[in-house]
């Protein structure tokens, strides 16, 4: 098992990438702190893990609130004695996020608070816990839109993910000599509830699909497998990267036929 005797904290773990990663990490031997602001959803994922013979604790937290971020790390350390993997995955894609002129200031602040401030707070309280454990892996969910413009305008989301990518690079450099690795996972468009609810028309879906060389949306389970590699000792010499798992979208410069 690739995460045997390790403890992982995963935010946004009630659904999507977070849920798939929590289930996979537990199957690979990790004790998992399942963190989400959806209390019932976190409990369901925790129950799934335990039913499969794994070890988990459900934690209710809003990652944009400092006290919650501090508490989620404390719960993980209290329950399992240490923290080895921090996966700052929680994020939103607001339906009213558009271009610079259309997007309301409240949408901007809510998106930045969760997607960017939430990652910073996770690192603020999680990195000291990794240090106490002698090192570990931080994985921050960015996006392919941190590397290129989105076909469908979503200015707050794109800005937030660009910030996550830049922050991950800096943290990687700052903490490299402490045996703490920091990488940014950059998914392409996925067939998740969050994206499908944003791409709420066939026209919007097609605008995204036509730019993906593989011709399909990715799966949350495929991102979970990428996160597993970043969490495990297999990636022991990997830090500060843009770990892109996007079906080729960032490599394409023309629309495939």
**pLDDT tens, 204-235?**
777 777 778 888 889 999 999 999 999 999 99
The phi and psi torsions of 10 (rounded to 5 degrees) equal -125, 120
| Catalytic annotation, residues | 157
What's the start-to-end Cα distance of the chain, in Å?
Answer: 41
The helices-and-strands tally (H runs, E runs) of the chain is 9, 7
Give dist(CA 189, CA 60) in Å, integer: 27
- pTM value? 0.94
248: left (phi over 0), alpha (psi -120 to 50) or beta: left
- Report the pLDDT averaged over residues 169-173: 98
Task: Supply angle C-alpha 221, 5, 176, rounded to 5.
Answer: 80
pLDDT of amino acid 165: 98
Confidence label for 255 from pLDDT (cuts 50, 70 and 90): low
| E-assigned strand segments in the chain | 7-11, 31-36, 55-60, 85-88, 136-141, 180-187, 242-245
Q: Give the model confidence (pLDDT) of 52-108 as tens digits.
A: 999 999 999 999 999 999 999 999 999 999 999 999 999 999 999 999 999 999 999
Q: Domains in the chain, start-ordered, CATH in brackets? A: 7-240 (3.40.50.720)
pLDDT of amino acid 135: 98
Q: Give the model confidence (pLDDT) of 98-144 as tens digits.
A: 999 999 999 999 999 999 999 999 999 999 999 999 999 999 999 99
pLDDT of amino acid 198: 66
pLDDT at 196 over 80: no
């Amino acid at each position: 098992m690739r995460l045997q005797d390790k403890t992982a904290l995963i935010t946004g773990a009630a659904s999507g990438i977070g849920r798939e990663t929590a289930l996979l990490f537990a199957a690979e031997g990790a004790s998992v702190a399942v963190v989400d602001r959806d209390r019932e959803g976190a409990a369901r994922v925790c129950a799934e893990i335990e039913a499969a013979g794994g070890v988990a604790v459900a934690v209710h937290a809003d990652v944009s609130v400092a006290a919650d971020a501090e508490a989620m790390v404390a719960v993980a350390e209290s329950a399992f004695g240490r923290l080895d993997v921090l996966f700052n995955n929680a994020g939103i894609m607001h339906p009213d996020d558009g271009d610079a002129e259309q997007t309301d200031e409240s949408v901007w602040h809510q998106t930045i608070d969760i997607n960017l401030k939430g990652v910073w707070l996770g690192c603020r309280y999680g990195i000291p816990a990794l240090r106490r454990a002698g090192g570990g892996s931080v994985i921050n969910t960015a996006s392919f839109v941190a590397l290129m413009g989105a076909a469908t305008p979503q200015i707050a989301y794109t800005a937030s993910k660009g910030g996550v990518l830049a922050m991950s690079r800096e943290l990687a450099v700052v903490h490299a000599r402490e045996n703490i690795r920091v990488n940014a996972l950059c998914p392409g468009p996925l067939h998740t509830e969050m994206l499908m609810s944003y791409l709420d028309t066939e026209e919007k879906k097609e605008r995204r699909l036509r730019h993906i060389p593989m011709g399909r949306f990715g799966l949350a389970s495929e991102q979970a497998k990428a996160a597993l590699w970043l969490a495990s000792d297999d990636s022991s010499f990997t830090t500060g990267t843009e770990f892109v798992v996007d079906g080729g979208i960032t490599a394409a410069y023309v629309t495939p036929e």
